[in-house]
């Protein structure tokens, strides 16, 4: 074979080998590119899922908020339309609003009007057998109720500065702790001292007090609020107020933006009413007996406080009087509780509202105004005391 041909053959063999190598590299590149694409695609799909989920959550939160707003507006209207603002009792429409009536057998009856499915009602009214088509709003449950906050003791009353009034509030608070069996004698004094120091504007520790200097030496230091409480939950920061203490107190106390809130004897409990005694209270039976009059089906609300004063005097073994100026027969502060259930999500809203009494000159009826609002996505239980039933008093 001539030299030229051998050289050509050798060159072709080299080119073939080169092509083979290049083919291998291309294959690896293609495989890598496919792997990369699949990975990117998987990440994009995952991102898309998260995005869709987030959109869903936002929609539920927004829907829950809007429905809660609607329930609030409805409840405000019910409070506004209460014909008699001089007497407020548990037989009135606002107190029954959203709460199922008992059917006489001790079992809950139908709730008044919370179904959006009007077809059954319409069919019954028109004697039709067939159900009409209904719109699915995607709502599993709408719950709303109104609590009278003046059935509870306002902890911010302890902020009052005038010495005689402050002593009266201290007596009420200690009586309430005693009746609820919270702590021993000296522990109750410490709870009172710590709470007063938490609320008062100064930084001087009072008797049994606990001020910013004391909170500052804790492992995680903080300052005392030195202002009125804004929520019951804030008590967790006050020295001595353990979870047990707070949970026991919760149904009987409230925090209102005033320091002179009176108790409505038409909606309160025996424990709170008996606490309004100038001496140490030992027995709530006289007060419970008085409040049992509310069970009368024809009860129209107590219109004056003299009998309540007599019952309170009977709650103490030593001669004593009811704390002056702490009772009334109507209320200005209410709480509207709204709960919306959308599938597996719940949305709760609690609004503190002020409804002023109508002026004596018969001028325009003051409207109901929202003072504060809390969204509670965990829907923690806020056990109300102003229920329809007074059974626990009997």
Given the rule CB under 5 A, which residues bind Ca ion?
82, 84, 88, 92, 197, 200, 224, 226
Q: Are 132 and 326 in contact (CB under 8 A)?
A: no
Vertex 330, ends 169 and 153: CA angle to 5°?
Answer: 25
Q: Are 320 and 278 in contact (CB under 8 A)?
A: yes
Q: Exposed, middle or buried: residue 133 (CB in 10 Å: 0-12, 13-18, 19+)?
A: exposed
Q: Are 353 and 371 in contact (CB under 8 A)?
A: yes
Residue number with CB closer to Ca ion (84 or 247): 84
Residue number with CB closer to Ca ion (96 or 373): 96
Q: Which residue is nearest to Ca ion (CB)?
A: 88
Nearest distance, CB of residue 204 and Ca ion, angstroms:
7
Nearest distance, CB of residue 213 and Ca ion, angstroms:
10
Determine the Cα–Cα distance for residues 162 and 153; give it in Å rounded to an integer: 19
Nearest distance, CB of residue 211 and Ca ion, angstroms:
5
Residue number with CB closer to Ca ion (85 or 373): 85
What are residue 308's phi and psi, to 5 degrees? -65, -40
Nearest distance, CB of residue 175 and Ca ion, angstroms:
24
Residue number with CB closer to Ca ion (88 or 350): 88
Nearest distance, CB of residue 237 and Ca ion, angstroms:
13
Nearest distance, CB of residue 82 and Ca ion, angstroms:
4
Residue number with CB closer to Ca ion (127 or 297): 297
Residue number with CB closer to Ca ion (150 or 175): 150
Nearest distance, CB of residue 198 and Ca ion, angstroms:
6
Q: Which of 338, 390, 345, 357 is nearest to 69 (CA)?
A: 338
Residue number with CB closer to Ca ion (226 or 234): 226
What are residue 102's phi and psi, to 5 degrees? -75, 145
**158-166: long-range contacts, CB 8 A cutoff, minimum separation 24:** 158/192, 158/195, 158/196, 158/199, 158/259, 159/196, 159/199, 159/200, 159/228, 159/259, 160/259, 160/260
Nearest distance, CB of residue 228 and Ca ion, angstroms:
11
Residue number with CB closer to Ca ion (197 or 271): 197
Residue number with CB closer to Ca ion (197 or 390): 197
Q: Which of 351, 348, 343, 346 is nearest to 368 (CA)?
A: 351
Nearest distance, CB of residue 358 and Ca ion, angstroms:
11
């Amino acid at each position: 074979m001539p030299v030229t041909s051998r050289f050509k053959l050798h060159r072709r063999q080299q080119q073939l080998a080169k092509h083979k190598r290049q083919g291998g590299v291309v294959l690896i590149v293609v495989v890598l590119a496919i792997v990369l694409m699949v990975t990117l695609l998987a990440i994009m799909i995952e991102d898309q899922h998260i995005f869709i989920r987030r959109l869903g959550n936002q929609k539920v939160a927004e829907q829950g908020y809007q429905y809660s707003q609607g329930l609030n507006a409805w409840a405000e209207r019910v409070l506004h339309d209460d014909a008699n603002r001089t007497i407020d009792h548990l037989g009135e429409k606002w107190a029954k609003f959203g709460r199922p009536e008992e059917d006489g057998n001790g079992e809950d009856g139908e709730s008044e009007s919370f179904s959006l499915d009007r077809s059954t009602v319409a069919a019954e009214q028109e004697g039709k057998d067939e159900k009409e088509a209904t719109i699915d709003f995607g709502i599993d449950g709408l719950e709303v109720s109104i609590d009278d906050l003046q059935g509870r003791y306002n902890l911010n009353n302890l902020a009052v500065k005038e010495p005689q009034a402050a002593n009266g509030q201290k007596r009420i608070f200690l009586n309430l702790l005693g009746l609820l069996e919270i702590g021993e004698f000296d522990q109750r004094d410490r709870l009172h001292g710590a709470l007063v120091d938490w609320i008062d504007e100064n930084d001087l520790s009072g008797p049994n007090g606990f001020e910013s200097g004391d909170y500052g030496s804790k492992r995680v230091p903080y300052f005392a609020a030195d202002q009125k409480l804004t929520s019951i939950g804030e008590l967790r920061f006050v020295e001595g107020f353990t979870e047990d203490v707070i949970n026991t107190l919760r149904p009987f106390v409230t925090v209102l933006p005033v320091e002179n809130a009176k108790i409505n004897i038409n909606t309160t409990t025996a424990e709170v009413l008996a606490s309004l005694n100038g001496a140490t209270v030992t027995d709530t039976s006289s007060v419970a007996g008085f409040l049992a009059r509310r069970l009368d089906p024809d009860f129209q609300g107590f219109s004056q406080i003299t009998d309540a004063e007599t019952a309170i005097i009977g709650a103490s073994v030593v001669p004593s009087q009811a704390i002056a100026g702490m009772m009334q027969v109507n209320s200005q502060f209410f709480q509207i509780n709204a709960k919306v259930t959308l599938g597996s999500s719940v949305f709760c809203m609690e609004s503190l509202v002020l409804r002023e009494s109508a002026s004596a000159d018969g001028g325009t009826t003051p409207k109901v105004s929202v003072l504060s609002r809390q969204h509670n996505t965990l829907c923690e239980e806020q056990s109300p005391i102003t229920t329809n039933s007074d059974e626990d008093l009997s």
